[in-house]
Amino acid sequence: MVKGDCKLSGDIVIYAVSDSIGETAEEVAKAAAVQFNSHVKEIKRIPNLTDINMVDELIDRIKSSNALIVYTVIIPEIKERLIKRTMEYNIPAVDILGPVIENMERLTGLKSKHEAGLLRKMNLEYFKRVDAIEFAVKNDDGKDPRGILKADAVLIGVSRTSKTPLSMYLAHKNIYVANLPIVPEVEPPKELYMIPREKIYGLVIQPEKLNEIRRERLRFLGLSDNASYASIDRIKEELKFSRKIMKALNCMVIDVTNKAVEETASIILEDINNRKIEGVSGENTRNY
């Protein structure tokens, strides 16, 4: 709907106004402007219009000019003020989102959140999630020790302690995760000792359960389940070595024996959130 009855003539300036970044309003204005060759002098984006005084300043500045306002304003009081002031000076103003939202409210029986910038927030969340997933893949199984220095969380543990699925699950929660296998014959990379211990999560498991998991894995691969990889003695040796490393790092240790990936992830997420809220302090010797 266009507010105001005046007819514009000659070259005009279009103001793409929004209480968010104004990208949608600007793109609509551009799409319309190309239909009028060079008669649109300029398209000016006015973002973050979140204060009534800002509305008044804008209208007072353009009230005598050959202007058209194209707007995507969600905040009710800002929208009402904009409509009132444009009608006061007969400034044409086109509400891009309003009719769509009104019809969606009518069809769904629900009320709009009236929160500015939601689409941008959703897009930012999406791209961060994709980036976190790519990070987890790149830094899976100790592929690049340098990733340890950039990670929000570093998972360490012997083979088959759910490091990879846990990394991917956390990545979908926008956490940047690197994971590293602990093997007695290989010393952990120096980067592991260069990060705060609070970022490190040691994963352990009961030997018998790990024996069962590894034997099943070997059978799945068509190999003999009597290999050293699934030997209970070898498993105990690996777990003993991994606990030694975890003790030296003084990191949180989580027993994943009877835990689903989601359960282990919730422990880590809670710890990360607590650190964000409270800050890092005190000893981190809890076992789960």
Q: How far is CA 53 from the centre of its chain?
A: 33
Cβ(118)–Cβ(160) below 8 Å: no
Nearest to 46 by CA among 64, 28, 26: 26
Q: What is the identity of the amino acid at 120?
A: R
Amino acid at position 180, single letter: L
Which residues are part of a known binding site? 157-164
Backbone phi and psi for residue 187, each to the nearest 5 degrees, phi listed first: -75, 140
Give 287's DSSP letter: B
- Enter the DSSP assignment of 187: P
Q: What residues form the annotated binding site for ADP? A: 157-164
> What DSSP string runs through 36-97?
GTT-EEEEEEE----SHHHHHHHHHHHTTSSEEEEEE--SHHHHHHHHHHHHHTT--EEESS
